[in-house]
Chain A
Amino acid sequence: MMKIDFSGLEQNASLRGNPNELLSGLSTAPEFQIPNTNDFDGFQKESIQMVKPAKGTTTLAFIFKEGVMVAADSRASMGGYISSQSVKKIIEINPHMLGTMAGGAADCQFWHRNLGIKCRLHELANKRRISVTGASKLLANILYSYRGMGLSVGTMIAGWDEKGPGLYYVDSEGGRLKGTRFSVGSGSPYAYGVLDSGYHYDMSVEEAAELARRAIYHATFRDGASGGVVSVYHVGPNGWKKLSGDDVGELHYTYYPVEPTTIEQEMAEVSVS
Protein backbone atom coordinates (compact mmCIF):
# COMPACT_ATOMS: atom_id res chain seq x y z
CA MET A 1 0.00 0.00 0.00
CA MET A 2 1.50 3.33 -1.03
CA LYS A 3 2.15 5.82 1.70
CA ILE A 4 2.40 9.37 0.55
CA ASP A 5 4.44 11.88 2.50
CA PHE A 6 2.12 14.79 3.22
CA SER A 7 4.69 16.69 5.28
CA GLY A 8 4.96 19.12 2.40
CA LEU A 9 1.44 20.28 3.10
CA GLU A 10 1.31 20.08 6.87
CA GLN A 11 0.49 23.20 8.81
CA ASN A 12 -0.05 23.72 12.52
CA ALA A 13 -2.81 21.62 14.11
CA SER A 14 -6.35 22.93 13.76
CA LEU A 15 -7.90 24.93 16.58
CA ARG A 16 -11.11 22.93 16.56
CA GLY A 17 -12.15 19.70 14.90
CA ASN A 18 -13.29 20.19 11.32
CA PRO A 19 -14.81 16.97 10.03
CA ASN A 20 -16.42 18.85 7.13
CA GLU A 21 -14.78 18.09 3.76
CA LEU A 22 -15.16 21.64 2.48
CA LEU A 23 -13.85 23.27 5.62
CA SER A 24 -11.03 20.77 6.02
CA GLY A 25 -8.98 22.68 3.50
CA LEU A 26 -8.89 25.79 5.67
CA SER A 27 -7.07 24.95 8.91
CA THR A 28 -5.21 21.86 7.70
CA ALA A 29 -3.96 21.28 4.21
CA PRO A 30 -6.31 19.42 1.88
CA GLU A 31 -5.16 15.95 0.91
CA PHE A 32 -4.50 14.62 -2.55
CA GLN A 33 -7.30 12.36 -3.73
CA ILE A 34 -6.08 9.20 -5.41
CA PRO A 35 -8.14 7.37 -8.04
CA ASN A 36 -9.37 3.94 -7.00
CA THR A 37 -7.87 1.82 -9.76
CA ASN A 38 -5.79 -1.32 -9.93
CA ASP A 39 -3.48 0.20 -12.48
CA PHE A 40 -2.36 3.48 -10.93
CA ASP A 41 0.60 3.94 -13.28
CA GLY A 42 -1.46 3.33 -16.39
CA PHE A 43 -4.11 5.76 -15.19
CA GLN A 44 -1.50 8.43 -14.51
CA LYS A 45 0.07 7.87 -17.92
CA GLU A 46 -3.30 8.26 -19.59
CA SER A 47 -4.31 11.27 -17.61
CA ILE A 48 -0.98 12.95 -18.32
CA GLN A 49 -1.62 12.39 -22.03
CA MET A 50 -5.07 13.88 -21.65
CA VAL A 51 -3.96 16.78 -19.53
CA LYS A 52 -0.65 17.33 -21.38
CA PRO A 53 1.10 19.75 -19.04
CA ALA A 54 3.01 22.53 -20.69
CA LYS A 55 6.75 21.88 -21.02
CA GLY A 56 9.67 22.60 -23.30
CA THR A 57 11.81 25.46 -22.14
CA THR A 58 15.26 26.92 -21.61
CA THR A 59 16.41 28.13 -18.23
CA LEU A 60 19.90 28.75 -16.91
CA ALA A 61 21.70 30.00 -13.84
CA PHE A 62 25.34 30.50 -12.93
CA ILE A 63 27.43 31.79 -10.05
CA PHE A 64 30.07 34.43 -10.69
CA LYS A 65 32.00 36.99 -8.71
CA GLU A 66 29.06 39.35 -8.19
CA GLY A 67 26.47 36.73 -7.25
CA VAL A 68 24.07 34.53 -9.23
CA MET A 69 22.68 35.27 -12.68
CA VAL A 70 19.36 33.60 -13.56
CA ALA A 71 17.71 33.70 -16.99
CA ALA A 72 14.81 31.96 -18.74
CA ASP A 73 12.60 32.11 -21.82
CA SER A 74 8.81 32.42 -21.54
CA ARG A 75 7.22 29.93 -23.90
CA ALA A 76 4.82 27.19 -22.79
CA SER A 77 3.95 24.50 -25.32
CA MET A 78 1.34 21.73 -25.24
CA GLY A 79 2.53 19.26 -27.84
CA GLY A 80 2.92 21.41 -30.94
CA TYR A 81 0.65 24.23 -29.80
CA ILE A 82 2.11 27.27 -28.10
CA SER A 83 -0.18 27.79 -25.16
CA SER A 84 1.54 30.94 -23.93
CA GLN A 85 4.41 33.27 -24.82
CA SER A 86 4.42 35.10 -21.49
CA VAL A 87 4.88 32.49 -18.79
CA LYS A 88 6.83 33.58 -15.72
CA LYS A 89 9.49 30.90 -15.47
CA ILE A 90 11.56 32.66 -12.84
CA ILE A 91 9.62 32.37 -9.64
CA GLU A 92 10.23 34.76 -6.77
CA ILE A 93 10.23 32.51 -3.71
CA ASN A 94 11.17 35.34 -1.38
CA PRO A 95 13.11 38.62 -1.82
CA HIS A 96 16.41 36.71 -1.57
CA MET A 97 15.70 33.52 -3.46
CA LEU A 98 14.62 32.63 -6.96
CA GLY A 99 13.43 29.35 -8.47
CA THR A 100 13.25 28.45 -12.15
CA MET A 101 10.51 26.52 -13.86
CA ALA A 102 11.00 23.64 -16.29
CA GLY A 103 8.73 20.65 -16.85
CA GLY A 104 5.12 20.74 -15.71
CA ALA A 105 4.02 24.35 -15.23
CA ALA A 106 1.45 23.58 -12.54
CA ASP A 107 3.88 21.33 -10.65
CA CYS A 108 6.59 24.00 -10.61
CA GLN A 109 4.20 26.85 -9.69
CA PHE A 110 2.51 24.95 -6.89
CA TRP A 111 5.62 23.50 -5.26
CA HIS A 112 7.58 26.75 -5.50
CA ARG A 113 4.71 28.56 -3.81
CA ASN A 114 4.68 25.84 -1.17
CA LEU A 115 8.46 26.22 -0.75
CA GLY A 116 8.02 29.97 -0.25
CA ILE A 117 5.55 29.26 2.53
CA LYS A 118 7.91 26.83 4.22
CA CYS A 119 10.83 29.26 3.93
CA ARG A 120 8.73 31.95 5.61
CA LEU A 121 7.71 29.55 8.38
CA HIS A 122 11.38 28.71 8.87
CA GLU A 123 12.18 32.41 9.26
CA LEU A 124 9.44 32.84 11.83
CA ALA A 125 10.42 29.74 13.76
CA ASN A 126 14.19 30.29 13.72
CA LYS A 127 14.43 34.11 13.55
CA ARG A 128 16.79 33.92 10.60
CA ARG A 129 16.51 33.51 6.86
CA ILE A 130 16.72 29.98 5.48
CA SER A 131 19.87 29.01 3.59
CA VAL A 132 19.82 28.03 -0.09
CA THR A 133 21.03 24.59 1.00
CA GLY A 134 18.10 24.24 3.36
CA ALA A 135 15.48 25.51 0.93
CA SER A 136 16.67 23.23 -1.87
CA LYS A 137 16.72 20.28 0.53
CA LEU A 138 13.11 20.97 1.58
CA LEU A 139 11.99 20.97 -2.03
CA ALA A 140 14.06 17.92 -2.97
CA ASN A 141 12.66 15.88 -0.10
CA ILE A 142 9.07 16.68 -1.08
CA LEU A 143 9.69 15.82 -4.71
CA TYR A 144 11.42 12.59 -3.71
CA SER A 145 8.40 11.50 -1.73
CA TYR A 146 6.23 11.94 -4.84
CA ARG A 147 8.75 10.08 -7.00
CA GLY A 148 7.17 7.86 -9.61
CA MET A 149 3.79 9.61 -9.45
CA GLY A 150 4.34 11.62 -12.58
CA LEU A 151 5.40 15.03 -11.30
CA SER A 152 7.64 16.80 -13.79
CA VAL A 153 9.87 19.42 -12.18
CA GLY A 154 13.36 20.54 -13.25
CA THR A 155 14.22 23.56 -11.18
CA MET A 156 17.17 25.57 -9.98
CA ILE A 157 17.14 27.29 -6.61
CA ALA A 158 19.35 30.38 -6.60
CA GLY A 159 19.94 32.68 -3.66
CA TRP A 160 22.38 34.56 -1.52
CA ASP A 161 22.71 33.48 2.10
CA GLU A 162 25.34 33.77 4.87
CA LYS A 163 27.73 31.53 2.96
CA GLY A 164 27.50 33.73 -0.13
CA PRO A 165 25.85 32.94 -3.45
CA GLY A 166 24.23 29.48 -3.67
CA LEU A 167 22.87 27.47 -6.60
CA TYR A 168 21.24 24.05 -6.54
CA TYR A 169 19.57 21.96 -9.23
CA VAL A 170 16.54 19.96 -8.00
CA ASP A 171 14.36 17.62 -10.05
CA SER A 172 11.30 15.45 -9.72
CA GLU A 173 13.35 12.25 -9.86
CA GLY A 174 14.64 13.28 -6.45
CA GLY A 175 18.00 14.58 -7.69
CA ARG A 176 19.68 17.53 -5.97
CA LEU A 177 23.02 18.89 -7.16
CA LYS A 178 25.09 21.77 -5.93
CA GLY A 179 26.93 23.57 -8.69
CA THR A 180 28.09 26.79 -10.29
CA ARG A 181 26.58 26.49 -13.78
CA PHE A 182 23.30 24.86 -14.80
CA SER A 183 20.92 24.93 -17.70
CA VAL A 184 17.63 23.03 -17.72
CA GLY A 185 15.11 22.29 -20.45
CA SER A 186 14.82 21.25 -24.08
CA GLY A 187 16.97 24.22 -25.16
CA SER A 188 19.68 23.61 -22.56
CA PRO A 189 22.28 22.05 -24.90
CA TYR A 190 22.25 25.24 -26.99
CA ALA A 191 22.41 27.44 -23.92
CA TYR A 192 25.31 25.45 -22.48
CA GLY A 193 27.29 25.94 -25.69
CA VAL A 194 27.12 29.73 -25.46
CA LEU A 195 27.34 29.85 -21.67
CA ASP A 196 30.35 27.57 -21.27
CA SER A 197 32.37 29.26 -24.00
CA GLY A 198 31.79 32.77 -22.67
CA TYR A 199 32.00 32.18 -18.94
CA HIS A 200 34.57 33.83 -16.66
CA TYR A 201 34.26 33.97 -12.90
CA ASP A 202 35.42 37.60 -12.88
CA MET A 203 32.69 39.04 -15.08
CA SER A 204 30.89 42.22 -14.20
CA VAL A 205 27.13 42.21 -13.72
CA GLU A 206 26.52 43.70 -17.20
CA GLU A 207 28.81 41.15 -18.90
CA ALA A 208 27.17 38.26 -17.05
CA ALA A 209 23.69 39.54 -17.91
CA GLU A 210 24.63 39.83 -21.57
CA LEU A 211 26.08 36.31 -21.55
CA ALA A 212 22.91 34.90 -19.97
CA ARG A 213 20.72 36.81 -22.43
CA ARG A 214 22.69 35.57 -25.44
CA ALA A 215 22.66 31.99 -24.21
CA ILE A 216 18.87 31.99 -23.88
CA TYR A 217 18.49 33.81 -27.21
CA HIS A 218 20.53 31.18 -29.04
CA ALA A 219 18.53 28.41 -27.41
CA THR A 220 15.26 30.02 -28.54
CA PHE A 221 16.70 30.38 -32.03
CA ARG A 222 17.37 26.67 -32.41
CA ASP A 223 14.79 25.06 -30.11
CA GLY A 224 11.18 25.21 -31.22
CA ALA A 225 9.88 24.72 -27.72
CA SER A 226 11.62 27.84 -26.39
CA GLY A 227 10.81 31.45 -27.23
CA GLY A 228 8.94 34.55 -26.17
CA VAL A 229 10.75 36.92 -23.84
CA VAL A 230 14.17 36.47 -22.19
CA SER A 231 14.05 37.48 -18.53
CA VAL A 232 17.35 38.05 -16.73
CA TYR A 233 17.60 38.35 -12.95
CA HIS A 234 20.58 39.00 -10.72
CA VAL A 235 20.82 37.76 -7.12
CA GLY A 236 23.16 39.86 -5.02
CA PRO A 237 23.83 40.24 -1.31
CA ASN A 238 20.73 42.41 -0.94
CA GLY A 239 18.38 40.10 -2.77
CA TRP A 240 17.31 39.64 -6.37
CA LYS A 241 16.67 42.29 -9.00
CA LYS A 242 15.15 41.91 -12.44
CA LEU A 243 17.64 43.30 -14.94
CA SER A 244 15.88 42.92 -18.28
CA GLY A 245 13.07 41.43 -20.28
CA ASP A 246 13.64 41.37 -24.04
CA ASP A 247 11.48 39.96 -26.79
CA VAL A 248 13.51 37.30 -28.58
CA GLY A 249 12.29 38.35 -32.01
CA GLU A 250 13.59 41.87 -31.51
CA LEU A 251 16.81 40.61 -29.90
CA HIS A 252 17.58 38.74 -33.12
CA TYR A 253 17.79 41.96 -35.11
CA THR A 254 19.97 43.70 -32.54
CA TYR A 255 22.45 40.81 -32.77
CA TYR A 256 22.08 40.30 -36.53
CA PRO A 257 20.96 43.58 -38.11
CA VAL A 258 19.68 43.43 -41.69
CA GLU A 259 22.00 45.08 -44.19
CA PRO A 260 20.83 46.09 -47.67
CA THR A 261 22.47 43.88 -50.32
CA THR A 262 24.44 45.20 -53.31
CA ILE A 263 21.94 43.69 -55.79
CA GLU A 264 19.19 45.90 -54.45
CA GLN A 265 21.39 48.95 -54.88
CA GLU A 266 22.10 48.06 -58.53
CA MET A 267 18.41 47.74 -59.28
CA ALA A 268 17.78 51.16 -57.80
CA GLU A 269 20.45 52.72 -60.10
CA VAL A 270 18.99 51.10 -63.24
CA SER A 271 15.47 52.41 -62.61
CA VAL A 272 16.72 56.00 -62.10
CA SER A 273 18.54 56.17 -65.47
Chain B
Amino acid sequence: MTKEHANWSPYDNNGGTCVAIAGADYCVVAADTRMSSGYNILTRDYSKITQLADKCAMASSGFQADVRALQKHLEARHLIYQHQHNKQMSTPAMAQLLSNTLYYKRFFPYYAFNVLGGLDGEGKGCVFTYDAVGSYERVGYSSQGSGSTLIMPFLDNQLKSPSPLLLPAKDAVTPLSESEALDLVKTCFASATERDIYTGDKLEIVVLNAKGTRREYMELRKD
Protein backbone atom coordinates (compact mmCIF):
# COMPACT_ATOMS: atom_id res chain seq x y z
CA MET B 1 0.00 0.00 0.00
CA THR B 2 1.71 3.16 -1.13
CA LYS B 3 1.23 6.16 1.13
CA GLU B 4 -0.65 9.07 -0.39
CA HIS B 5 1.12 12.31 0.24
CA ALA B 6 -0.67 15.60 0.72
CA ASN B 7 -1.32 17.65 -2.41
CA TRP B 8 -1.83 20.70 -0.29
CA SER B 9 1.17 22.71 0.86
CA PRO B 10 0.94 25.40 3.51
CA TYR B 11 3.40 27.51 1.49
CA ASP B 12 3.29 29.46 -1.74
CA ASN B 13 5.89 31.70 -3.33
CA ASN B 14 4.65 35.16 -4.23
CA GLY B 15 7.96 36.15 -5.84
CA GLY B 16 9.47 39.59 -5.78
CA THR B 17 12.88 41.05 -5.03
CA CYS B 18 14.25 43.19 -2.20
CA VAL B 19 17.45 45.21 -1.97
CA ALA B 20 19.07 47.25 0.79
CA ILE B 21 22.20 49.41 0.71
CA ALA B 22 23.92 51.02 3.71
CA GLY B 23 25.71 54.35 3.43
CA ALA B 24 27.74 56.48 5.79
CA ASP B 25 24.69 58.30 7.14
CA TYR B 26 21.72 56.81 5.28
CA CYS B 27 20.14 53.50 4.40
CA VAL B 28 18.12 52.59 1.32
CA VAL B 29 15.58 49.73 1.43
CA ALA B 30 13.78 48.87 -1.80
CA ALA B 31 11.43 46.23 -3.15
CA ASP B 32 9.24 45.75 -6.19
CA THR B 33 5.46 45.73 -5.73
CA ARG B 34 4.45 42.74 -7.84
CA MET B 35 2.74 39.85 -6.09
CA SER B 36 2.46 36.64 -8.12
CA SER B 37 1.39 33.04 -7.72
CA GLY B 38 2.83 30.73 -10.35
CA TYR B 39 2.31 32.46 -13.70
CA ASN B 40 -0.49 34.67 -12.39
CA ILE B 41 -0.07 38.22 -11.18
CA LEU B 42 -2.26 38.71 -8.11
CA THR B 43 -1.64 42.43 -7.82
CA ARG B 44 0.76 45.08 -9.12
CA ASP B 45 0.56 47.23 -6.04
CA TYR B 46 1.62 45.27 -2.94
CA SER B 47 4.16 46.77 -0.54
CA LYS B 48 6.81 44.38 0.77
CA ILE B 49 8.45 46.99 2.98
CA THR B 50 7.42 47.74 6.52
CA GLN B 51 8.79 50.36 8.88
CA LEU B 52 9.46 48.58 12.16
CA ALA B 53 10.93 51.55 14.06
CA ASP B 54 11.85 55.19 13.42
CA LYS B 55 15.22 54.18 12.07
CA CYS B 56 14.54 50.65 10.89
CA ALA B 57 12.75 49.17 7.87
CA MET B 58 12.39 45.60 6.69
CA ALA B 59 11.75 44.30 3.18
CA SER B 60 10.75 40.67 2.69
CA SER B 61 10.10 38.48 -0.31
CA GLY B 62 8.75 34.94 -0.37
CA PHE B 63 5.34 33.90 0.91
CA GLN B 64 3.54 37.15 1.68
CA ALA B 65 1.10 35.62 4.17
CA ASP B 66 4.07 34.52 6.30
CA VAL B 67 5.71 37.91 5.69
CA ARG B 68 2.60 39.73 6.93
CA ALA B 69 2.40 37.51 10.03
CA LEU B 70 6.09 38.14 10.71
CA GLN B 71 5.68 41.92 10.29
CA LYS B 72 2.72 41.96 12.69
CA HIS B 73 4.66 39.93 15.25
CA LEU B 74 7.65 42.29 15.11
CA GLU B 75 5.50 45.43 15.22
CA ALA B 76 3.72 44.11 18.31
CA ARG B 77 7.00 43.18 20.03
CA HIS B 78 8.36 46.63 19.24
CA LEU B 79 5.31 48.26 20.80
CA ILE B 80 5.81 46.20 23.97
CA TYR B 81 9.50 47.20 24.00
CA GLN B 82 8.53 50.88 23.74
CA HIS B 83 6.12 50.53 26.63
CA GLN B 84 8.72 48.82 28.79
CA HIS B 85 11.81 50.87 27.92
CA ASN B 86 10.35 54.23 26.88
CA LYS B 87 12.42 54.33 23.71
CA GLN B 88 12.59 52.98 20.18
CA MET B 89 14.41 49.73 19.50
CA SER B 90 17.81 50.14 17.87
CA THR B 91 18.38 48.49 14.50
CA PRO B 92 20.94 45.93 15.78
CA ALA B 93 18.48 44.96 18.54
CA MET B 94 15.67 44.59 16.03
CA ALA B 95 18.01 42.52 13.88
CA GLN B 96 18.54 40.01 16.67
CA LEU B 97 14.83 39.99 17.50
CA LEU B 98 14.06 39.10 13.90
CA SER B 99 16.66 36.34 13.96
CA ASN B 100 15.20 34.80 17.11
CA THR B 101 11.64 35.15 15.82
CA LEU B 102 12.58 33.30 12.65
CA TYR B 103 14.46 30.57 14.52
CA TYR B 104 11.59 29.87 16.91
CA LYS B 105 9.74 28.64 13.85
CA ARG B 106 12.69 26.43 12.91
CA PHE B 107 10.48 23.36 12.48
CA PHE B 108 7.69 25.16 10.62
CA PRO B 109 9.54 28.05 9.01
CA TYR B 110 8.31 31.45 7.93
CA TYR B 111 8.84 31.32 4.18
CA ALA B 112 10.23 34.84 4.20
CA PHE B 113 13.56 36.08 2.86
CA ASN B 114 14.32 39.33 4.63
CA VAL B 115 16.62 42.27 4.49
CA LEU B 116 16.61 44.69 7.38
CA GLY B 117 17.96 48.21 6.88
CA GLY B 118 18.37 51.16 9.14
CA LEU B 119 20.64 53.46 11.09
CA ASP B 120 22.65 52.09 13.98
CA GLY B 121 23.29 53.79 17.32
CA GLU B 122 25.89 56.08 15.75
CA GLY B 123 23.70 57.12 12.84
CA LYS B 124 25.63 54.99 10.32
CA GLY B 125 23.72 52.92 7.82
CA CYS B 126 23.47 49.19 8.49
CA VAL B 127 21.94 46.34 6.55
CA PHE B 128 21.25 42.86 7.91
CA THR B 129 20.56 39.95 5.64
CA TYR B 130 18.75 36.75 6.64
CA ASP B 131 17.96 33.26 5.50
CA ALA B 132 14.52 31.78 6.13
CA VAL B 133 15.38 30.29 9.53
CA GLY B 134 17.13 33.24 11.09
CA SER B 135 20.87 33.12 10.41
CA TYR B 136 21.94 36.74 9.96
CA GLU B 137 24.89 38.90 9.19
CA ARG B 138 25.56 42.63 9.13
CA VAL B 139 26.61 43.65 5.63
CA GLY B 140 26.99 46.79 3.55
CA TYR B 141 24.39 45.75 0.96
CA SER B 142 22.21 42.78 0.16
CA SER B 143 19.41 41.50 -2.01
CA GLN B 144 16.90 38.67 -1.47
CA GLY B 145 14.13 37.14 -3.50
CA SER B 146 13.62 35.87 -7.01
CA GLY B 147 15.81 38.51 -8.64
CA SER B 148 18.62 38.34 -6.09
CA THR B 149 20.84 36.06 -8.19
CA LEU B 150 20.66 38.72 -10.93
CA ILE B 151 21.21 41.73 -8.68
CA MET B 152 23.84 40.47 -6.20
CA PRO B 153 26.69 40.03 -8.73
CA PHE B 154 26.03 43.56 -10.00
CA LEU B 155 26.11 45.00 -6.48
CA ASP B 156 29.29 43.01 -5.76
CA ASN B 157 30.85 44.62 -8.82
CA GLN B 158 29.79 48.15 -7.86
CA LEU B 159 29.89 48.11 -4.10
CA LYS B 160 32.13 45.33 -2.93
CA SER B 161 34.10 46.44 0.05
CA PRO B 162 36.86 44.67 1.97
CA SER B 163 35.43 41.85 4.06
CA PRO B 164 34.62 42.74 7.68
CA LEU B 165 36.56 39.60 8.66
CA LEU B 166 39.90 41.03 7.54
CA LEU B 167 42.23 42.27 10.23
CA PRO B 168 42.21 45.21 10.96
CA ALA B 169 38.42 45.30 10.60
CA LYS B 170 37.19 47.74 7.96
CA ASP B 171 33.85 49.46 7.56
CA ALA B 172 31.28 47.77 5.35
CA VAL B 173 29.30 50.86 4.33
CA THR B 174 29.51 52.19 0.81
CA PRO B 175 31.23 55.53 0.16
CA LEU B 176 28.48 56.44 -2.35
CA SER B 177 26.24 59.43 -1.69
CA GLU B 178 22.52 58.97 -1.09
CA SER B 179 21.52 60.04 -4.59
CA GLU B 180 24.14 57.78 -6.19
CA ALA B 181 22.89 54.83 -4.13
CA LEU B 182 19.31 55.58 -5.20
CA ASP B 183 20.34 55.59 -8.86
CA LEU B 184 22.12 52.30 -8.32
CA VAL B 185 19.01 50.72 -6.80
CA LYS B 186 16.84 51.93 -9.66
CA THR B 187 19.33 50.50 -12.16
CA CYS B 188 19.33 47.16 -10.32
CA PHE B 189 15.59 46.78 -10.49
CA ALA B 190 15.30 47.97 -14.08
CA SER B 191 17.77 45.24 -15.06
CA ALA B 192 16.26 42.54 -12.87
CA THR B 193 12.81 43.30 -14.30
CA GLU B 194 14.14 42.54 -17.79
CA ARG B 195 15.18 39.01 -16.91
CA ASP B 196 13.02 37.89 -13.97
CA ILE B 197 9.35 37.26 -14.58
CA TYR B 198 8.45 37.74 -10.93
CA THR B 199 9.96 41.22 -10.66
CA GLY B 200 8.37 44.33 -12.14
CA ASP B 201 5.35 46.72 -12.08
CA LYS B 202 6.60 49.30 -9.61
CA LEU B 203 9.58 49.92 -7.38
CA GLU B 204 9.10 51.20 -3.84
CA ILE B 205 12.12 52.78 -2.16
CA VAL B 206 12.35 53.75 1.51
CA VAL B 207 15.22 56.06 2.45
CA LEU B 208 16.19 56.38 6.12
CA ASN B 209 18.52 59.14 7.23
CA ALA B 210 19.04 61.61 10.05
CA LYS B 211 16.22 63.81 8.75
CA GLY B 212 13.71 60.95 8.93
CA THR B 213 12.12 58.58 6.46
CA ARG B 214 10.88 59.19 2.94
CA ARG B 215 9.32 56.99 0.28
CA GLU B 216 9.89 57.11 -3.46
CA TYR B 217 8.29 55.20 -6.31
CA MET B 218 9.44 54.34 -9.80
CA GLU B 219 7.52 52.63 -12.58
CA LEU B 220 8.93 49.33 -13.86
CA ARG B 221 7.99 47.19 -16.86
CA LYS B 222 4.61 45.58 -16.39
CA ASP B 223 5.12 42.60 -18.68
Tell me the A residues contacting B by CB distance below 8 Å: 22-23, 25-26, 30-35, 37, 39, 42, 44, 46-47, 50-51, 53-54, 74, 78, 81, 83-88, 104-110, 149-151, 228-229, 231, 242-247
Q: Does B37 sit within 8 A of A, measured CB to CB?
A: no
Tell me whether A74 and B163 are in contact in the complex, defined as CB-CB below 8 angstroms, given that A42-B5, A50-B11 are known contacts.
yes
Q: Which residues of A contact B169 (CB under 8 A)?
A: 245
Whether B163 lies near A86 (C-beta < 8 A) is yes
**Taking the nearest CB of chain A, how far is it from the CB of B27, in angstroms?**
18
**Taking the nearest CB of chain A, how far is it from the CB of B8, in angstroms?**
10
- Segment among B18-26, B72-80, B202-210 that sits at the interface with chain A: B72-80
B3 nearest in chain A by CB position? A39
Tell me whether A150 and B135 are in contact in the complex, defined as CB-CB below 8 angstroms, given that A106-B102, A245-B165, A246-B166 are known contacts.
no
Whether B133 lies near A51 (C-beta < 8 A) is yes
Taking a contact as CB atoms closer than 8 A, the residue among B6, B104, B162 that contacts A30 in the complex is: B104
Q: Does B103 sit within 8 A of A, measured CB to CB?
A: yes
What per-residue 1/0 map shows which CB atoms of B98-127 lie under 8 Å from chain A?
011011111111010000000000000000
Rounded to whole angstroms, the CA-CA distance of A229 and B163 in the bound complex is 8
Q: Does B131 sit within 8 A of A, measured CB to CB?
A: yes
Rounded to whole angstroms, the CA-CA distance of A88 and B149 in the bound complex is 22
Whether B107 lies near A149 (C-beta < 8 A) is yes
A-facing residues in B151-172 (Cβ within 8 Å): 162-167, 169
Tell me whether A106 and B137 are in contact in the complex, defined as CB-CB below 8 angstroms, given that A33-B107, A245-B166 are known contacts.
no
Q: Does B38 sit within 8 A of A, measured CB to CB?
A: no
Q: Which residues of A contact B134 (CB under 8 A)?
A: 106, 109-110
Whether A22 lies near B73 (C-beta < 8 A) is yes
Taking a contact as CB atoms closer than 8 A, the residue among A32, A105, A246 that contacts B131 in the complex is: A105
Taking a contact as CB atoms closer than 8 A, the residue among B3, B109, B167 that contacts A47 in the complex is: B109
| 5 cross-chain CB contacts under 8 A | A32-B107, A34-B107, A86-B165, A87-B137, A150-B107
Whether A22 lies near B135 (C-beta < 8 A) is no
Whether A53 lies near B133 (C-beta < 8 A) is yes
Whether A33 lies near B133 (C-beta < 8 A) is no
Q: Which residues of A contact B73 (CB under 8 A)?
A: 22
**Taking the nearest CB of chain B, how far is it from the CB of A96, in angstroms?**
20
**Taking the nearest CB of chain B, how far is it from the CB of A235, in angstroms?**
16
Given contacts A51-B111, A51-B133, A104-B133, 15 further A-B contacts (CB under 8 A): A26-B80, A31-B104, A32-B107, A42-B5, A44-B107, A47-B109, A50-B132, A51-B109, A84-B139, A86-B139, A86-B163, A87-B137, A106-B135, A245-B163, A245-B169
Rounded to whole angstroms, the CA-CA distance of A231 and B111 in the bound complex is 32
